[in-house]
Amino acid sequence: MTPDKRIAVCPGSYDPITNGHLDVIGRAAELFHEVVVAVVNVSVRKNKALFDIEERLSFIEEATAHLPNVRAEPFSILVVDFARQLGANSIVKGLRAISDFEYEFEMHQLNRMQAPDVDTLYLMASPQYSFLSSSGVKELATFGGDITSLVPERVARRLKEELAR
């Protein structure tokens, strides 16, 4: 008898994807049979995305091409409902700092109220990414900072193009 297929959802805006995101996704890929990087199409808590959904999905697909059990999909419903649609019973999120914990704890409690069968697994950020955020990368890029070690190469190039306008 084989164990049930373990599917996890890694939700986020990924605007843009960073090496910190990729670290969490790669570690999740070692724990689950399948990982769906769930890219929120319209975020309630953030400003309009710099990159459209197709480009964000493309960045993720390119950066995770070496991970055969990872795919990216857009979503615009409750993450627990999206997880259920996929047959996933786990949401995987990365935590960098106490401030992340406070927000994620609240989200976890709300998600559990909606879907007690979908649990959340938190992976602590690797030390070299504990400070890294998409908004921080965009701010650095806006003012000409070196972001080449923080994001995939194509993302760095596109950020420079977009923010130079």
According to the model, what pLDDT value does residue 2 have?
A: 45
Q: Is residue 92 part of a domain?
A: yes
Q: Is residue 112 part of a domain?
A: yes
- Give the SS3 label for residue 100: helix
**Placement of tokens 């995305």 in the chain:** 49
- Spatial separation of the C-alpha atoms in residues 80 and 52, rounded to whole Å: 23
Q: Is residue 76 part of a domain?
A: yes
Q: Is residue 55 part of a domain?
A: yes
Q: Which residues are paired to 72 by β-bridges?
A: 37
- Spatial separation of the C-alpha atoms in residues 131 and 113, rounded to whole Å: 30
Q: What is the domain extent for residue 12?
A: 7-129
According to the model, what pLDDT value does residue 99 have?
A: 80
β-pair type (90-95, 7-12): parallel
Q: What is the pLDDT along the chain (165 residues), one digit of tens a residue?
A: 345 789 999 999 999 999 999 999 999 999 999 999 999 987 666 678 999 999 999 999 999 999 999 999 999 999 999 999 999 999 999 999 888 898 999 999 999 999 999 999 999 999 999 999 999 999 999 999 999 999 999 999 999 999 875
- Spatial separation of the C-alpha atoms in residues 70 and 32, rounded to whole Å: 10
Order the strands of the 70-75 sheet from edge to edge: 70-75, 34-40, 7-12, 90-95, 119-124
**How many domains in the chain?**
1
Q: Is residue 140 part of a domain?
A: no
Q: Is residue 99 part of a domain?
A: yes
- The predicted model scores a pTM of 0.93
- The CATH number given to whatever domain includes residue 14 is 3.40.50.620
Q: Is residue 88 part of a domain?
A: yes
- Span between the terminal Cα atoms of the chain, in Å: 57
Q: Is residue 141 part of a domain?
A: no
Structural contact between residues 19 and 132, judged by C-beta atoms closer than 8 angstroms: yes
